[in-house]
């Protein structure tokens, strides 16, 4: 998955506009547009700012896997899990365990 596609997903998930994100990060809206369109890439500082803003790793934004996470989907599961409350995490784990039990039948 390309950086711009991942960024677009995060923007849409938060129901932001590119302009809002640009204003929040003090980046030109056209720069954000270039990222989303995959016509340009952020420098290291912008990448770190985006990761901090969305509470994700730079590896997640770059869809880079070192072997600790096997795929983008696995990284996405971790991102979603980390964003949950403690109660939501317990429910999520219970549902996952239920899926495993059903699969083993």
Mean pLDDT by 10-residue block, N- to C-terminus, for the chain (105 residues)? 94 94 96 97 96 91 76 82 90 89 78
The pLDDT value given to residue 21: 97
Q: Structural domain of residue 1, as residue ranges?
A: 1-64
Do residues 38 and 73 both lie within one domain? no
Do residues 77 and 60 both lie within one domain? no
* Residue 25 contacts residue 53 (beta carbons within 8 Å): yes
The pLDDT value given to residue 90: 92
- The residue assigned the tokens 């369109």 is 37
If one counts the domains in the chain, the total is 2
Alpha-carbon distance 61 to 41, whole Å?
11
Do residues 86 and 100 both lie within one domain? yes
Do residues 56 and 96 both lie within one domain? no
Do residues 12 and 58 both lie within one domain? yes
Do residues 50 and 11 both lie within one domain? yes
């Amino acid at each position: 998955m390309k950086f711009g596609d991942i960024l677009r997903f995060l923007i849409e998930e938060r129901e932001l506009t590119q302009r809002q994100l640009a204003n929040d990060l003090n980046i030109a809206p056209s720069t954000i547009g270039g990222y989303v369109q995959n016509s340009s890439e952020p420098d290291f500082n912008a990448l770190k700012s985006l990761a901090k803003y969305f509470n994700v790793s730079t590896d997640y934004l770059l869809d880079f896997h070192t072997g600790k996470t096997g795929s983008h989907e696995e990284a996405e599961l971790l991102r979603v899990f980390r964003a949950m409350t403690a109660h939501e995490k317990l429910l999520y784990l219970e549902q996952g365990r239920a899926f495993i039990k059903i699969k083993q039948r």
